[in-house]
Chain A
Amino acid sequence: MSTDNTLWARPALAAQVLAPRRDGRSDVLLRVPALADARRTVMLQSTLEALPGVTRVRVEVTARRLHITFDAARIGLPDLLDACHASACPAQPLRRELLDDPLHHQANDALKRLAVAGLFTMQAMMFALVLYLGVIDRVDASTRQLFRWLEMLAATPVIGYAAIPFFRHALRDLRARRAGIDVPIAIAVLLIYLASAWNTLAGHGAIWFDSATMLIFVLLTGRYLELRARRRHHDLDAASTDNLPLLATRRDAAGTWETVAALELEPGDRLRVSEGSVVPADGILACAQARLDTSHHDGESRVRHVDQGQPVESGSLVLDAPIELTVTRAGSATSATRRRQLAEEAARQRARTDGAADAGVGRFIAGVLGLAAATAAFWLWHDPARAFDTVIAVLVVACPCAFALATPATLTRAMSVLARRGVMLTRPQALAALADVDHALVDKTGTLTRPQLDAAATLTHNNIEPRQALAWAAALAHGSSHPVAQAVLRANAATPATASDIQVSAGGGISGRLDGRALRLGRAGFACPGHADDDALWLADAHGPLARFALVESLRPGARSAMQALQQAGIHVAIASGDSAPRVAAIAAQLDIADHHARQSPDAKFERVRAAQAAGHRVLVVGDGSNDAAALAAADVSASLAGATDLARHHADLLLGDDLSQLTLARALARRAVRTMRHNRRWGLTWNAIAIPLAACGLVPPWLAALGMSASSLIVVLNALRLEAPDAPPAAGPHHDQPARWQERTA
């Protein structure tokens, strides 16, 4: 990353990242390295806030961003960046478009409506309780009437404000001529409210404000929880394009190097990218050779060698030495942007089918409304005085509360059960798809496999105990989420000490101080300059190398059991990997998977998903690299893992931890959830089938109808709460895919 921050004073560049506010101040978003240490986060925040001209600093830890509001007349952007740099937290400005976060407004809006619904529902309930319990003397009609008015007063904000999203969605669905679940909810709530208001004004007849408000409150709670999960997930989207540098070094006509905005680049430009920087545009390598770290977009942990004339993808990290390249695609045409657009387009298409009509709901509404009309017609002819009460009773009985709650209550419960087992469900609708997938497409590198230290092949210098060397390495790796650092931590049996002054250099390794000694852990070229890189992990101090740890590709825990479970369930499993054919075949053989494909580009994976879907299959995709993102987004249901790239996580429906057997667990729970949902809906329909005819005959007084409606909703919610995760598989299962050779040796 270029440390020359004065460039950002140039108006053309500043215009790309600064968003002027109405009060004359400016907003800027800065991307910072992982803010794992909360203490440092708070220190950084207070350091920045102490600068003159800075109004507010907001740290978004999950999104790795700083949102700074400042007065551009008093402090410049370069000064802010210098201040970050001085706090050992080098920051890079992000494009101003990212400042406008739609989910932020949506979450605030939902929170306000939820609060209003909660506060006023409680009030309405309280007034209703006074009436139900008969606290007020039966003859005291005026006080009763007062409480009915108060109940209406309390219910009005809930219906008139908190319930607006339901009305809006219902209108949208009606206009699109489809029947979403919000249509019956909106109709029921509105009818109950209007009927109750009519009875309040008339001064006699039953009122059901409490039922309507309660329904809104419960539904809003579920939706708010869902929104929060989605938002947290969205924050993880530190995806490839905003990771691309905004600056580039280009050779101008006179042959000198100048720094320009990456957006100004054009095909044919000659670029130089220094070591440790990210390639800003796609191009052809113009110098003899380059060594690149592409783990950010394809999850590949080995170094990629590129020779002159071969393509270099944007988003790759340059190692060792500066490179030169000729731009072939820049700006919004780069492969990094393309990966993201492909994934977003796929996600949009899926969102469309998510909102599609539920055939049952449409028939249900038509039936109820028809029945209500028939009831009204019959009673108007037979006994007009009872017509109104009977029609209301029919509508209240038929209020699709149980029906409306059946799915969300179950999904909310399933989300929390999964969360307790370390699986995050980010798109609840995906659960139903997970229960009946019949095709699975699995990535190899980083998904089925992960790097593992080959303990037997550890070499140490100066008679250092391998165990000791490993403990030192673990002290440095502690707190890093890089797959190799995780491999070190897994291999280390001792309690790791914590090194101080830890600095991570992207694509190189980690340096830090332990017991006063400066240690470096990483690629050979980083740890002990002068040594040639060899795909192994080196530990060194100021005097020279201490140890060399060999890395092998090994199966991830749970990979075998999860793939077996999928295949036993009759699901066709296929491996699609960007890796070479022999390596893919070897892993496929270990897992007994016959269908495997090597050298798959992001588009090829995406097309593979589409083809399977076109053939009528429901597809599950499991992947961890940005090159899987499009396939993940296109799939009926997708899963990603803890070490996945941000773009992959952003497009996954399920975020698993480190263990693939969680996939089996999630599928088992999904099947149970679908069964519970089916029970619930069947219950809702049965209840209606019995109660509606009775109500239509005038046999159910409105108060009994309201009571029955509440009871049926309660039963649905309680039934959903019965949902539990299946017991963990026996301990002899997934965790023994890899015998811990290191521990055996040292025990």
Chain B
Amino acid sequence: MNAIIILIPVTLALIGFATALFFWAVRHDQFQDLDTPAILPLMDDVPASEENSPQTTEKHA
């Protein structure tokens, strides 16, 4: 019985966390483009990173 007392709040916290995470993702347009990410790993060279590479990493903020 004690297990339930501990597990139930854990479950509820997890759902709350999952929901919050999902909302964050939707708000940041993570579900906008489901086509291009699929081919990203297939690209052998990611271009235009020669001169400006340090900046590209912070672009998605």
Contacts and interface: CB of A to CB of B under 8 A. Distances in A.
Interface in A40-66: 41-43, 45-47, 49-52, 54-56, 58-61
Contact of B8 (A49, A54, A59, A150): A150
Contacts, number: 72
B39 A42 contact: yes
A46 B36 contact: no
B56 A60 contact: no
A38 interface: yes
A43 B48 CA distance: 8
B19 A119 contact: yes
A47 B22 CA distance: 30
Interface in B1-55: 1, 4, 8, 11-12, 15, 18-19, 22-23, 26-27, 29, 31-33, 35-36, 39-40, 43, 46-49, 51-52, 55
B26 A108 contact: yes
Given A46-B49, A116-B19, A58 B32 contact: yes
Nearest to B58: A55
A19 interface: no
A112 interface: yes
Nearest to A83: B48
A46 B33 contact: no
A112 B8 contact: no
Contact of A55 (B4, B48, B59): B59
A52 B11 CA distance: 45
A123 B23 contact: no
B39 A143 contact: no
Contact of B11 (A55, A108, A123): A123
B39 A46 contact: no
Contact of A50 (B22, B31, B35, B49): B49
A50 B53 CA distance: 7
A574 interface: no
A112 B30 CA distance: 12
B48 A46 contact: yes
A665 interface: no
B26 A38 contact: no
B15 A119 contact: yes
Interface of A: 38-39, 41-43, 45-47, 49-52, 54-56, 58-61, 104, 108, 111-112, 115-116, 119-120, 123, 143, 150, 153
Return the 8 tightest CB-CB contacts between A and B, nearest first: A50-B52, A47-B48, A50-B48, A38-B39, A115-B22, A43-B47, A46-B48, A49-B59
Given A56-B59, A104-B32, A150-B8, 9 more contacts: A38-B35, A41-B36, A46-B56, A47-B47, A52-B55, A59-B33, A61-B36, A111-B26, A143-B1
